[in-house]
A and B are shown apart, each in its own frame.
Chain A
């Protein structure tokens, strides 16, 4: 299938990252490599952002991890992952062999963790990393970096020193000043911003059993269609603050959502929760976007962005 039209180049003054299409699967919703192969057309696929990877293997949180809400879900996976060593050993070869483009999503609880991970990425010629500084699901660690512009600037600078590839920093929406965070990241030398991570949320269910209420509650990160307005707002704010490209996410489910995010400054997209509903959605959206552009004689993705922004 000719998807030449969808070729996407994320670039700033120093570096660029070229993707087959602007559709990327979001971290934590797609596994590490080819887990979704049965469902997608790899030709239509921009990239996978891997499950968040830490230095050491993590078993994640105990207890219930998923809570469904109207239009979305709350998760508290707690960054369960195989650890960087095993990733390099067992998952990276699959990605390379099958020529699947990917962003290595990393997370840590200290600045040293991130620096080491960046170095490992550098040594293994990993083309792009996405730094999760905004995970609400682990007790210590990344959230603090993600919410303070000074520490975020420091952290990003340190990662930048160790890593020469395409550096994406993923921002948290759980802040009152997203512009300050975006600016810090850009000044520290990041090549791109992705946003948003999940919002903090609390799901509660009370069942009246016998003569008392049985309470179930899950506190974690809210994702899915219900967070789209927040994501649009945040991306719009980030766009006002920085010049580097933005990968937008938060509740994307359909073609119209892509247009809306472009209108506030998105240069590419990630799809998270919607993969759970329709496992083929990433390649389907790419195909739909391609068809839309052919039908309406839009030359390429750059032109589409122009058309939307100028209207």
Chain B
């Protein structure tokens, strides 16, 4: 973990309120589920974003941002060759297993799923990415199946059975991750979920982004930024 100077290669609008940023830096390694934390001049704290893709050869990483407040609205104004400072690579990513994988992205939660899909493809692991968006105009491309309007969860039972899915990976709102974890339990398969929580230091010291997990029968605190953001669905104590 280090702080990096990144050079913006491009900023592209990909939906009504989301942008793709390509950033070149000296960062050598990253895996899906890990994130970076960007310094924005108009906010107090840094802003965390999942790594949505990484090209080792050109040392270029991709992030997808959905517009929310001051931080994301600053980031969308960046231009080619602008410099940004970010901490990376942060947190623990997905632990890829050689199993038939179902990837579930809800909304902007698709970001780390796209990177995971790249990695699975490189490893020749069979996978299927389903993503869900509230409306057509919010849709981000790259999935095997996209659900607009309804719930991405409605389709999962069927897909799991049909495709003999052996593991679930997911990122999205808290409630989606909770339901994905319950679904995994029902089908007796593993789920890995990438969580979000407002954070301050982003390296595990301030204890600001704590969730409760169950470690061998004992309830413990875990930080989303350092112990996560990826957790096993069955270890999280869901609120």
Contact = CB atoms under 8 A, between A and B. Distances in A.
Nearest to A275: B201
A277 B87 CA distance: 10
A77 B1 CA distance: 24
B178 interface: no
A30 B205 CA distance: 6
Interface string B195-218: 001111111111111100000000
Contact of A66 (B3, B39, B200, B221): B200
B221 A69 contact: no
A38 interface: yes
Contact of A29 (B44, B199, B201, B204): B201
A273 B44 contact: yes
A51 B207 CA distance: 10
A177 B2 CA distance: 43
Interface in A64-123: 64-73, 75, 77, 80
A39 interface: yes
A70 B180 CA distance: 36
B43 A65 contact: no
Which among A31, A66, A67, A72 has the highest number of chain B CB atoms within 10 Å? A66
A23 to B, nearest CB: 17
B46 interface: yes
Given A38-B1, A39-B3, A275-B201, A28 B39 contact: no
Nearest to A61: B210
Contacts of B45: 66, 68, 73, 276-277
A236 to B, nearest CB: 25
B2 A77 contact: no
Interface in B153-184: none
B207 A276 contact: no
Interface string A28-66: 111100011011000000000001000000011000111
Instruction: State the main secondary structure of chain A at its contact with B.
Output: loop
A77 B87 CA distance: 23
A30 B46 CA distance: 16
B39 A277 contact: yes
A60 B45 CA distance: 22
Given A60-B221, A68-B198, A80 B44 contact: no
B208 A35 contact: no
Contacts of B87: 279
A224 B44 contact: yes
Given A80-B210, A225-B44, A276-B46, A35 B200 contact: no
A280 interface: yes
Nearest to A272: B206
Nearest to A80: B207
Interface in A252-311: 273, 275-280
A280 B3 contact: yes
Contacts of B207: 51, 60, 65, 77, 80
Contact of B203 (A28, A35, A278, A280): A35
A278 B203 CA distance: 12
Interface in B31-70: 39, 43-46
Nearest to B87: A279
Contacts of A276: 45-46, 200-202, 206
Contacts of A67: 198
Given A66-B198, A68-B43, A225-B44, A279 B206 contact: no
B107 to A, nearest CB: 14
Contact of B200 (A60, A75, A80): A75
A282 B2 CA distance: 16
Contacts of B46: 276-277
Contacts of B197: 64
Contact of B3 (A51, A65, A224, A279): A279
Given A60-B221, A73-B45, A35 B204 contact: yes
Given A51-B207, A75-B208, A277-B45, 14 more contacts: A28-B206, A30-B205, A35-B204, A35-B205, A36-B205, A66-B199, A66-B206, A67-B198, A68-B43, A71-B44, A77-B208, A224-B44, A273-B200, A276-B45
Interface of B: 1-3, 39, 43-46, 87, 197-210, 221
17 contacts: A31-B205, A51-B205, A51-B207, A64-B198, A65-B207, A65-B208, A65-B209, A66-B209, A67-B198, A68-B44, A68-B198, A73-B44, A225-B44, A277-B45, A278-B3, A279-B3, A279-B87
- Ordered nearest first, which 9 A-B pairs have the shortest CB separation? A31-B205, A66-B208, A80-B207, A66-B198, A276-B200, A276-B201, A65-B208, A35-B205, A66-B200
